[in-house]
Structure formats: structure tokens, C-alpha cells
Amino acid sequence: MPPESSAPAARPDAAEPAPQHELWPAPFVGPRPVVAELTVPGSKSLTNRYLLLAALADGPCRLRSPLHSRDSRLMVEALRALGARVEEVPGDGGFGPDLLVEPAPWDAAEPVTVECGLAGTVMRFVPPVAALARRPVTFDGDPGARVRPMGPVIDALRALGLRVEDDGRGRLPFTVHGTGGVRGGELEIDATGSSQFVSALLLAGARFDDGLVLRHRSADGSGRGVPSMPHVEMTVEVLRGLGVSVDDSVPDEWRVSPGPVRAFDVTIEQDLSNAGPFLAAAVVTGGRVSVPRWPDRTTQGGDHWKHILPAFGAAVELTDGTFTVTGPDAVTGVDLDLGEAGELAPTVASVCAVAGTPSRLRGIAHLRGHETDRLAALVTEINRLGGDAEETADGLLIRPAPLHGGTFHSYEDHRMATAGAVIGLVVPDVRVENIATTAKTLPEFPRLWAELTGTSRDA
């Protein structure tokens, strides 16, 4: 068994943490280009949106090929706590059963607690739905969740007439005192910290008596927009597909009409963000990786891989539903604005760390409020392996430097763990601390990565 190491504090520094978690020897392929074809489990973003809406729907719903991970399990348990019935049934997906959901009755009165873990979709999406119940609902989560910003959701609920007890923290834990209904109407929030603040309110808006008119205004007057807008576009598209009227024709404004959420039977797209590390493997090794069943059109932020990876010199092709990435002979640095796809930044940064020319990543200041401070974490861990990375006001600068083996800490963050795995493909003796944290959205990662690295052009 390898030695153990702990996850550092939420704000990383260069000090080596004390032992706690198991270390995972990242597979090293050296000069061997990887060649593979694989699919990944369902989208976390879509799974948790559809689960939430199933609890609000006007009849039973079925999710086919959903994600089964810690984040989706936490959403299931949250909805069960609110009274919905969620049942696993056999399906045709390759990564687990389908889910049948009976909507919540919303008439129970006893207090309940929702465990959020580190799932932003649970801690932010569920409170506006809990406001429709007739009971106190307490939200809490992992220690790392207690430092994630929640103020815009809490303030919005209060503005809608709800009583929320948080002892002035603006963070977990807090209690929403549901009254059995929400009047709705006009509401203004500052969503510069996360697109989830917008989605959280839109998802519940159709069930408010007067619907919802939601406007984003940056509190500092800077005019900064909502980051990761594809996630808001995803929310709007999902709602419209279920018969909810949403008008987003005015920038930074959304009008949700009151009305039912139609029952549905839907197949969940695979998670294109989680496909990223496997596609990045083709780039850093000069290999070739194909992902079948890539959607022709999608609102997933992971679709940005089609534009991001060519910037490193890779060739990309989408033919007959299969997305293929062929890596370059030498990886070049990039200058990219990732404001619409911030969740991809850790994987992008891992490729930048092994590139032969400097890189600049922009538009991702909001990553400081994710599962960990991802900007500080990436700088700390890349530099710990001999790299040359620094933070900017809204991103990262990463310059070429000879990397060496060592421990790459995950900070309980699934995307940090997979970033370390990408670097470990071409840097020997990299050990990723707590690879098990990938279970947040991709429990199969270690197995799929082993299969990926066991295939090469020479095989």
C-alpha cells in the first residue's frame, strides 16, 4: 500500500500536508501514445436538473442512463427527504439502472435535513424547491461545502418572503422554513459567483404562484456577467422541453411563466466535461481517443472541447456521432477565455503544464468558490511538481518548466484529481492523493483510466 497523505486546507499553500488519504500511482505511459475508444456515464448537470424537475412534475418520470455518483445520489436523497419517491429499475445504460421518480406530495410537516456533501447542484438547487414544502428543511454538507458561497440563494429566498435561518453566515448550514407555496414575482440577484444561482431559481420558478422574473445585476457595479452561461442555457432548454415557458430574450433577465412541469421520459447525455481528461490524454501523449455517441447539439459546457483542444495543436473530428481527438507531435501553449466553460479549467491547466510554450487562462475568477479554490490549488500542485504557474486576477499563467514526480493533492475536488492523472501520463512517479474523490461525478474513473492507459498504438 502506498504511503498516505491528506487533503490540504480549502486555501492551498505550498506546505506538504500531513498523511491522511491514500495515494494513487498515476499510470505513466511515457513515449507511448494512447489509443482508445470509450464512453463515460451520464451528465451530472443534466441528471440532477431532471431529478429535481421530476419531483416537481405533474406525473411520474423516468431518467434513462442517468449518472450514478455521489452528487446524483445526494440529489436523490434530498428529494426523498422532501417526499419524492425515487426507484432504480433495469435499463439499457452501460453504467447503472434507470431511475423512476414519483413527484413529491409537499404536504408533510416534520422537519428534515438535506445532506449536500460538496454538490453545488444540491446545496443551491434544492432550497428554492424546499420553499414549496410545509416544513423546516435544514441544509448542511462537507466541511468544504461550508465555505462555498450561498448568499445569493439565501437572500433570494428571503426576498421571496421565506424565513431562512443561517446566523448571518450566508453559507451552510441554514434552514429554510417552507410555507407550502411561494408567491414569486420580480427578483434581482448577483450571480457573478456562479451560474447555479440563476439555475436554482429558474428550476423552481414555474411552481411559484406568479412565476418569476429574475434579473442578474453585479453588486459591485462592474457589469460582470454570469459565468458558465451554457449551464443557464441548459436549464432554460430543459425547462422548455418540459412545457415551461421561459423568456430569455433580454440579456441577464429570465421570465418564467407559472404552470405545470410536464412529466417526462428522457435519456441523459453522457457527461462531456468528464470525457475531458480522456480527450486530454490524446493531446499530451500524441495519441488518439474517440468518444462515440457525442451529441450533434448540446448545451453541455463540455462541448467546448471541440474548440479548446485544437488550440493546443490537436486535430478534432465529429463524424457519425463519434468525437475523435488526435494529439499533436508537440503540445503548444494557449491563450483562452474559459468564462463559459470554467469546469474544464483544471483539465486544460494540466495540458498547459506539459506544453512547450506559455499559456494564459482567463475568465475563471469564479473558480475560487468551487469545491476548493481551484486557481490556488492548481498553482500549488503544478509548482509542487516543478512547474511554473501563477494566479492572475481572473485566471492562470502557466509557463514551461521541467516537471518531476511527487504528490498531486486533490483537495477533495474531483477535477483536481483527474488533472493530476493527466500530468502523470507523461511525468513519471506522480501520485494523486485521494483519487476516490472522482466518485463525486465519475466513480468509474480509475477503471476507465486503467483501460485507457493499457491501449496504445503499439498494442
| pLDDT tens digit sequence for 66-109 | 999 999 999 999 999 999 999 999 999 999 999 999 999 988 88
Domains of the chain, residue spans: 23-40+271-453, 44-267
Question: What is the average pLDDT value for the chain, to the nearest integer?
Answer: 93
- Apex 413 CA angle, 226 and 37, nearest 5: 90
Which sign, positive or negative, has the C-alpha torsion 237, 241, 242, 247? positive
Q: Is the pTM of this model over 0.85?
A: yes
Active site residues: 343
DSSP per-residue string spanning 196-237: HHHHHHHHHHTTSTT-EEEEE--TTSS----SSHHHHHHHHH
Contact between 216 and 226 (Cβ < 8 Å) = yes
In whole angstroms, what is the distance from residue 367 CA to residue 33 CA? 31
In whole angstroms, what is the distance from residue 51 CA to residue 457 CA? 41
Cβ neighbours, 10 Å, residue 98: 19
- Apex 353 CA angle, 351 and 356, nearest 5: 90
In whole angstroms, what is the distance from residue 431 CA to residue 361 CA? 25
Query: Which stretches of 242-304 are DSSP H helices?
Result: 276-285
Give binding residues for phosphoenolpyruvate as ranges: 44, 120, 148, 196, 374, 415, 440
Q: Would 23-40+271-453 and 44-267 be classified into the same CATH topology?
A: yes
**Residue 219 has what pLDDT?**
85
| pLDDT tens digit sequence for 303-346 | 999 999 999 999 999 999 999 999 999 999 999 999 999 999 99
Cβ neighbours, 10 Å, residue 155: 17
Q: How far is CA 232 from CA 21, 158, 267, 365, in A?
A: 35, 22, 20, 18
CATH for 44-267 is: 3.65.10.10
**420's grid cell:** 493530476
Residue 452, H or E segment: helix 445-453
**Residue 288 has what pLDDT?**
98
**Residue 220 has what pLDDT?**
84
Q: How far is CA 320 from CA 92, 293, 295, 300, in A?
A: 21, 9, 10, 19
Extract the residue ranges of the chain whose pLDDT is less than 70.
1-20, 455-459
| pLDDT tens digit sequence for 352-384 | 999 999 999 999 998 997 788 999 999 999 999
* CATH architecture observed for domain 23-40+271-453: Alpha-beta prism (3.65)
**Residue 16 has what pLDDT?**
57
Q: How far is CA 378 from CA 12, 83, 146, 342, in A?
A: 9, 40, 21, 13
Contact between 417 and 4 (Cβ < 8 Å) = no
